[in-house]
Amino acid sequence: MEFIYEVEGGNFIKAGNASSAVKKTLKQLNVDPKIVKRTVVALYEAEVNIVAHAYRGSITVNINARSIRIILDDDGPGIPDIELAMRQGYSTASPKVREMGFGAGMGLPNIKKNVDELNMSSIVNKGTKVEMITYL
Amino acid sequence: MKVCDLVDKLDLKVFCGQQGINRLVDGAYVSDLLSDVMGNVDENNVWITLQTHKNIVAIASLKEVAAIILVKGHEPEQAALEQSNTEGIPILGTKLETFEIAGRLYALLNES
Ligand SMILES: Nc1ncnc2c1ncn2[C@@H]1O[C@H](COP(=O)(O)OP(=O)(O)OP(=O)(O)O)[C@@H](O)[C@H]1O
Ligand SMILES: [Mg+2]
């Protein structure tokens, strides 16, 4: 099963809509509630990262009997140093985004904690690709 | 304990999300950093914060939070209010500061 969602950079009103839709789908498929919870945390953080840091992106969710595989692909500034970005507390969020309570530098560590596999690649001035896999 | 019991005992204002007033509460989490809440709040917790925008309801809904309490007289933004009504997650309000309302809520949850 495959689902695709579009995400608009800068649009905080819609932030979380894709995560909410995926949560509903996983529940309907009777996925273990613990796995639903973990997946939702990881996906929300990755979705908001597109909203907060990139221009636009897409989310592709693949679900089969063995795994949930989610790929987030964005057009954006990219991440020059992924290892640094992964550190708790590291953030380049704008003052406006911080005022809303985002920008604690906890999103990527949250993702790492809540999926079985996380692969990130990025090209500066082009965009970022995040792949997360959870085994069922 | 239910959300409506907290409303009574802590003299909270109900801004919206009235349908969720009978949700069960078994704890609380205090934070204004959204990723911290995303990572750490548990379902059926009450979330105490001073953030008032729509994203707090998105997070509360994804995490199945029982209700949100806004401190220091803060009021939800219009979009948050509408989303709260859609999701049935109450947004409550108090004039008290975080320290005080958290202390009272802690005492209340521990006596029950
Ligand atoms: N999709 C992305 N495009 C460009 N940069 C990104 C992207 N995702 C993350 N980053 C970079 O990695 C940093 C750390 O991300 P992380 O999600 O951990 O924290 P944050 O988004 O800044 O704050 P929080 O997630 O706690 O609200 C970001 O501040 C940003 O510099
Ligand atoms: Mg983030």
pTM for the full predicted model? 0.96
Backbone φ, ψ for residue B82 (5° rounding): -65, -45
Per-residue pLDDT, B56:
98
Per-residue pLDDT, B58:
97
Contact assignment for B39 to A106 by CB distance below 8 Å: yes
Instruction: Specify the pairing of strand B45-49 against strand B27-30.
Output: parallel
Query: Ligand 1 mean position to B14 CA, how many Å?
Result: 34
Q: Which of B38, B56, B68, B71 has the highest number of chain A CBs within 10 A, making it the mutation to test binding with A?
A: B38
Q: Which fold has domain B3-109?
A: 3.40.1390
Strand extents, DSSP E, chain A:
2-8, 56-63, 67-75, 117-123, 127-135
Per-residue pLDDT, A124:
98
Ramachandran class of A114: left when φ > 0, alpha when ψ lies in -120 to 50, beta otherwise: alpha
Give the span between the Cα atoms of A132 and A43, in whole angstroms.
Answer: 9
Candidate from A19, A50, A51, A53 with most ligand 1 atoms within 8 A of CB, to mutate: A53
The 10s digit of each residue's pLDDT in B9-52 is 999 999 999 999 999 999 999 999 999 999 999 999 999 999 99
Contact assignment for A41 to B33 by CB distance below 8 Å: no
Give the span between the Cα atoms of A45 and A58, in whole angstroms.
Answer: 14
With H, G, I as helix, E, B as strand and everything else as coil, classify residue A128: strand
Question: Which runs of consecutive H residues, i.e. helices, occur in A67-106?
Answer: 82-85, 95-99
Residue A20 Cα, gap to closest chain B Cα (Å): 6
ipTM: 0.94
Give the span between the Cα atoms of A70 and A60, in whole angstroms.
Answer: 6
Ligand 1 pocket (Cβ < 6 Å) reads A 45, 49-50, 52-54, 74, 76-79, 85, 90-93, 102-108, 128; B 34-35
Residue ranges of domains in chain B? 3-109
The residue-averaged pLDDT of A36-56 equals: 98
The residues in B 88-107 lying below 8 A from A, measured between CB atoms, are none
Query: Ligand 1 mean position to B82 CA, how many Å?
Result: 28
Residues in A closer than 8 angstroms to B38, CB to CB, are 41, 44-45, 106-107, 110
Give the span between the Cα atoms of B20 and A85, in whole angstroms.
Answer: 38
The residue-averaged pLDDT of A62-71 equals: 97
User: Does residue B112 carry a pLDDT above 70?
Assistant: no
Nearest to B38 among A13, A23, A45 (CB): A45
Query: Ligand 1 mean position to A130 CA, how many Å?
Result: 12
All domains in chain A, ordered by first residue: 2-135 (3.30.565.10)
Per-residue pLDDT, B37:
98
Backbone φ, ψ for residue B46 (5° rounding): -95, 140
- A116 band by pLDDT with thresholds 50, 70 and 90: very high
Instruction: Assess contact for A79 and A129: CB atoms under 8 A.
Output: no
